[in-house]
Amino acid sequence: MTYILPLLIGFILSTIGNYITIQWAKSQQLFEENDVRKIHIEKVSALGGIPVFIAFWITIAFFNVPMSACLPLLLATGILMLIGLEDDLYNTGVLRRLLAQVAAATIAFWAGFHFGWTGSILLDMLNFVASVFFVVLMINSLNFIDGINGLAGGLGILTMLVCAGLFYASGLFSLTCIALAYSVVVGGFMVFNFGKKASIFMGDNGSTVLGFLMAIFALKLFQVLPIAAINAALPILITVIAIPILDLVSVVFIRLKKGKSPFVGDRTHIHHLLTDNGMFHPVACQFILLWLVGLIFLFYFEFVYTLGMAGSLIIATYVLVRMKYTISPVTVPAKWDKPKQQPSPSR
């Protein structure tokens, strides 16, 4: 009961909050614009991160989490939510967003979320740079992969549940509560986001916060997992954070190879390859999530029992899926494109 009631409250608050946000966005005509990356033709708001954020922190208030653990996270996630909201509404510049992400990662570092490499000035500097870089990388990885209905939310829920289980096993009950709280409020958002037609999107105001929490929880687990648990637990943790990072690296490489800016969107993400090959959004989302659950199953029951084998399997399956579903983007017209008129046959 210690966990159930606050989590139930969080789910209900998020569900109600997202419904209210959908109706308010309709009244204010605050909808996401279509571009080459998107195939939805409906008018949909990208403000789902706001009710998730509010419901998350209300839920945390019902848990007996020390204020010292909450304040740095509240400040960091608040910065990210606001800069993400600004980007969703006004298309904020890349540098401004990057500075906000570095600021949030720095706050997390001083709150104890880092790789834990200490012992000399050089190691301390390396620890700071590597930790901040990892957080920024994870934030942008989630932002990149948030491209089909339910995917970012599904990855978020899966990651939060994995982290909650590992935190609980490590005796970190405050972080267990925080991870569980975020999983249920994302669940409330998924009520309106998962399916062929979404009523609301997470937006940058939500995906940046989710990517941040995934990153800092992973950093904390890198610190606290006992040596005996590394082979069993670390592959599971890496599975849920590796696919977004692999996708970001692949897409950036492809864009640079074509002479394009890595910040200009296209349809080379793995979820786009799946949907462009005929999968509906729910099917593509389920495909990716079940793929990750299958890998977790292998690692949990130690069918694959070393970190090297686990990493090789994750990369190999990702590459195979990309190769299987890679097609030329010119053969995939957007759904809103009107079919060309065929000339009438001459008599």
Note the pLDDT tens digit of each residue in 134-181: 999 999 999 888 878 888 999 999 999 999 999 998 889 999 999 999
Give the model's confidence band at 109: pLDDT under 50 very low, under 70 low, under 90 confident, else very high. Answer: very high
Q: What is the pLDDT of residue 180?
A: 96
Q: Which residues contact 299 (CB under 8 A, 6 or more apart)?
A: 232, 235, 236, 239, 310
**Token representation of residue 301:** 């029951």
SS3 of 20, please?
helix
Please determine, for residue 336, whether its predicted confidence score (pLDDT) is greater than 50.
no
Q: Which residues contact 108 (CB under 8 A, 6 or more apart)?
A: 72, 73, 76, 114, 131, 135, 212, 216, 219
Q: Which residues contact 258 (CB under 8 A, 6 or more apart)?
A: none
SS3 of 45, please?
strand
Please determine, for residue 52, whether its predicted confidence score (pLDDT) is greater than 60.
yes
Q: What is the pLDDT of residue 226?
A: 63
Domain boundaries, the chain: 4-330
Give the model's confidence band at 33: pLDDT under 50 very low, under 70 low, under 90 confident, else very high. Answer: low
Sign of the alpha-carbon torsion through 282, 288, 289, 294: positive
Higher per-residue pLDDT: 342 or 175: 175
259 φψ region: left (φ > 0), alpha (ψ -120 to 50), beta (else): left
Q: What is the pLDDT of residue 143?
A: 87
- The percent of residues in the chain predicted with pLDDT above 90, rounded, is 44
Q: What number is the average pLDDT over the span 101-128?
A: 93
Give the model's confidence band at 300: pLDDT under 50 very low, under 70 low, under 90 confident, else very high. Answer: confident
Please determine, for residue 334, whether its predicted confidence score (pLDDT) is greater than 50.
no
Q: What does the alpha-carbon distance between residue 203 and residue 221 come to, in Å, rounded to a whole number?
A: 27
Q: What is the pLDDT of residue 337?
A: 41
**Token representation of residue 268:** 């080379």
Q: What is the pLDDT of residue 66?
A: 86
Mean pLDDT of all residues belonging to the chain: 85
* The one-letter amino acid at 177: C
- The percent of residues in the chain predicted with pLDDT above 70, rounded, is 87
Give tens-digit pLDDT for 198-236.
Answer: 889 998 999 999 999 999 999 999 888 765 455 567 888
Q: What is the pLDDT of residue 330?
A: 40
Please determine, for residue 40, whether its predicted confidence score (pLDDT) is greater than 70.
no
Residue 120 half-sphere exposure toward CB, CA atoms < 13 A: 3
Q: What does the alpha-carbon distance between residue 149 and residue 195 come to, in Å, rounded to a whole number?
A: 6
Q: What is the pLDDT of residue 77?
A: 97
Apex CA 182: angle with CA 157 and CA 288, to 5°?
A: 15
Q: What does the alpha-carbon distance between residue 65 and residue 71 come to, in Å, rounded to a whole number?
A: 11
Centroid of chain to Cα 335: 26
Q: What is the pLDDT of residue 331?
A: 40
Q: What is the pLDDT of residue 320?
A: 86
Please determine, for residue 342, whether its predicted confidence score (pLDDT) is greater than 60.
no
Q: What does the alpha-carbon distance between residue 145 and residue 275 come to, in Å, rounded to a whole number?
A: 13
Q: What is the pLDDT of residue 238?
A: 86
Q: What is the pLDDT of residue 31?
A: 75
Give rounded-to-5 percent helix, strand, coil for the chain: 70, 0, 30
Give the model's confidence band at 310: pLDDT under 50 very low, under 70 low, under 90 confident, else very high. Answer: confident
Higher per-residue pLDDT: 170 or 97: 97
DSSP string, 122-185: HHHHHHHHHHHHHHHHHHHHHHHH--STTHHHHHHHHHHHHHHHHHHHTT-HHHHHHHHHHHHH
Among 109, 116, 127, which residue's Cα sits nearest to residue 72?
109
Show the beta-strand stretches assigned E in the chain: none
Centroid of chain to Cα 159: 9
